[in-house]
Amino acid sequence: MTDGVLLAAQRRALILDQVRRHGAVKVAELVDRLGVSDMTVRRDLDALARTGAVRKVHGGAVARTAAAEEPAFEAKSGLETDTKAALAEAAAAQVQPGSVVAISAGTTTYAVAARLLDVPGLTVVTNSLPVAELLRTHPGEDGPDLLLTGGAPTRSAALVGPLADQAIRSLHVDLLIIGAHGVSEHAGLTTPNLAEAQTNRALIASAHRTVAVADHTKWGIVGLSSFAALTDLDCFITDHDIPADARAILTETCGALLVV
């Protein structure tokens, strides 16, 4: 196989596809798969790394990630706002009056909470300080009852740790609406924060149904810790810019896929 410009573009597209599917690739495996030299693969990885599409590691590359640090809630609030609004509308439609709903921390889940303020008879369990403040200050008399888990706050305004986990494990909720820092085929839903991952696992274990909300920019991102497999999800809500291969994977693995 020759290494012309067109073939280089094709190779890099294939490499990026493998990284998004598996979270990581090895140079040796790519050499065999693509039928090119070790140096050619390393040049391709260098090129992808320069664009920010992957991060090079010893012997290969991993998905673009911010595994060491979770952005602050305020920093994320201004990203993909129209898309988050559409996802939030779809997720809020899953909520039944009179039910118990858990809402994880995050800016997309915050947008969901803002659409539940007038749902009658609702009880909201949350480990999100912004969601709790939103519900606490809602002026309506018939707003949702609030149960805040307690715990230690993260930079993303999530309450996590043993206190939060213990409180959540004693609960039984009808529906959990959960976000993620990143989503990939094999890593599932991930977060950079180990304690938040554990608290998210407790939320999932407490829920009869789990609905994940994540826009297309989360696909292919792999955080430090996984907290759910795609097969754990009863529904995954995302937007129409999700890649075709991701849509196929989500359709096959999740209980249901809703694209808005």
Q: Which residues contact 164 (CB under 8 A, 6 or more apart)?
A: 127, 149, 150, 151, 152, 199, 202
3-state secondary structure of 28: helix
Give the tens place of pLDDT for each residue, 80-123. Answer: 789 999 999 999 999 999 999 999 999 999 999 999 999 999 99
3-state secondary structure of 251: helix
From CA 229, how far away is CA 212, in angstroms rounded?
Answer: 11
What letter would DSSP give residue 59? T
From CA 20, how far away is CA 149, in angstroms rounded?
Answer: 34
Classify the phi-psi angles of 111: left when phi > 0, otherwise alpha if psi is within -120 to 50, otherwise beta. alpha
Residue 226 β-bridge partners: 190
Give the tens place of pLDDT for each residue, 210-258. Answer: 999 999 888 888 888 999 999 999 999 999 999 898 999 999 999 999 9
pTM value is 0.77
CB atoms within 10 A of CB 90: 20
Question: pLDDT band at 65, cuts 50/70/90?
Answer: low
Give the tens place of pLDDT for each residue, 190-214. Answer: 998 999 999 999 999 999 999 999 9
What letter would DSSP give residue 34? H
Asked if pLDDT for residue 71 goes beyond 70, the answer is no
